Structure 1
């Protein structure tokens, strides 16, 4: 089994209803109503930008000592906004996040926090900001399409202005055993939309409504878009937008 695949190459984020917008919107609604997720062919996040993100930014970031990574902290009232690691039941999992990554100043503040001496890798801020901005544009397009299809498109701009974006970078260590190990247990996301960019290694699995787990194979030109609980909608004339569960295995 494979996820629905939707081509966004003919969609211009700045020009709703132009090009293939209406056609893609219909495909998005069908995919979210039946699967709760889809694979988005998204050339705007170029292979060059992906390489600079994962090889030039993410790799040296996770090579840092744990004490340095723990500086990624947004306060006791936001425990899941920053560094995650040494979590019972999630061996080998680490993650850091930038709040509002599409804003260059937020990425710069993150880099200065992690590398207080200013000696962060060359191109780090440009790679993280460029990737976050590109992914956020896809998120905005999908959210607008969903709201238009539900007949509440006029409320998209106020919602977009009040929304914020969490750009999370995660690493899962490979297990010692030869058999598959669940690294991040089955769950549903609580936000509106999640957009996942995998890097070379398979691991993300999505559960269908009939209980089947579908392995999501990484692609150099696509992203995985998943609906979260905040965007689940039920009405007499509107299909339920629902993601069953997702998990990460290695």
Structure 2
């Protein structure tokens, strides 16, 4: 058993192949909260420029230089470093990477003389990832029966980041664990791996499924906010990074978020007799604060934060 792979190259709404691809995407997201996609977003030359030159150079810079990467968009949106006794990973992030000014502002943090090659490759790459992310969201919502006007409103309510990750050779040389199992608390994530394996997603039976780092493949993971929007139909994907080859690893992550301060609600069409309302409207920034202070106290933090309480039971939020 593995995660379904769907080829979305040249697939557009209304054209041949859309309905078949939509059905496959929706089915995989309902089953796993995950889908692997073949797509033309970054050519071989661009991949080598980013993974082979820019990222190795960036992550060898002094820590104080990397810590210049900060964000006004909330917690966990700038530099992240995790170099403890068990794991070794760090990352930096660009807010709104489809904006030319954002790309150049990010590059100037690390390359004071500028890095035109990095900017010229990253900007169109981010735009391609945005189109791919919107395609997957649209397919899933169409597949679930959401109306076009509500799909459009949903897509317009999103913000984005592009995060670059570096993983040192695993300290746990037996299990190769480099990032512990977790769910993303955003709307969705597109992961771009390069040459070194690592990404694993958890199936419903608890087993772990490895996602190979093949060129032109992108892994879409549903986050917890996507579970809210779809009224629990699409589960947030449990995943981890495990590197059995014991090599260092680079990856890129295109994150999709709700607008800062915006309210995330279940789509009206996804509430009916067979699917009663599961989640109350919530704010993503408040959920992040809840996770930061109280999340570890709960087996299901999302349900504890905004889940609809069954009649006759007391609220865990009181």
TM over 0.5: yes
1:44 Cα deviation after fit: 3.4
Deviations for 1:41-91, whole angstroms, at most 9, x for unmatched residues? 11233223222221232222112111111100124x723111011455663
Higher RCO, Cα 8 Å, sep 6+: 1
Q: Indicate if the aligned counterparts of 2:93 and 2:161 stay in contact, CA closer than 8 A.
A: yes
Aligned to 1:169: 164
What pairs up with 1:170-209 in 2 under 5 angstroms? 170-175=165-170, 178-209=173-204
**Equivalent position to 1:144, from 134, 138, 141:** 138
* Length, aligned pairs only: 242
Give yes or no for contact 2:226–2:236 (8 Å, CA) kept in 1: no
Give the Cα–Cα distance (whole angstroms) in 2 for the partners of residues 23 and 108 of structure 1: 39
| Bigger Rg, structure 1 or 2 | 2
Match of 2:120 in 1: 126
The equivalent residue for 1:112 is 108
Whether 1:98 and 2:98 are equivalent positions in the alignment is no
Could you list the per-position Cα deviations for residues 142-190 of structure 1 after superposition, in whole angstroms to 9, with x for gaps in the alignment?
Answer: 1111222232332222222221111110011012554223211111111
In structure 2, list runs of 5 or more residues that go unmatched: 244-318
TM-score (norm 2): 0.70
Q: Distance in 1 between matches of 2:148 and 2:54?
A: 37
SS of the equivalent of 2:201 reads strand
Cα distance in 2 for partners of 1:204, 1:86 equals: 17
Query: Are 1:10 and 1:20, in contact at CA under 8 Å, matched by a contact in 2?
Result: no
Q: Secondary structure at the match of 1:219?
A: coil
Counterpart of 1:247 in structure 2 is 240
Partner residue, 2:5: 5
**Separation in 2, partners of 1:186, 1:145:** 27
What is the TM-score with the length of structure 1 in the denominator?
A: 0.88
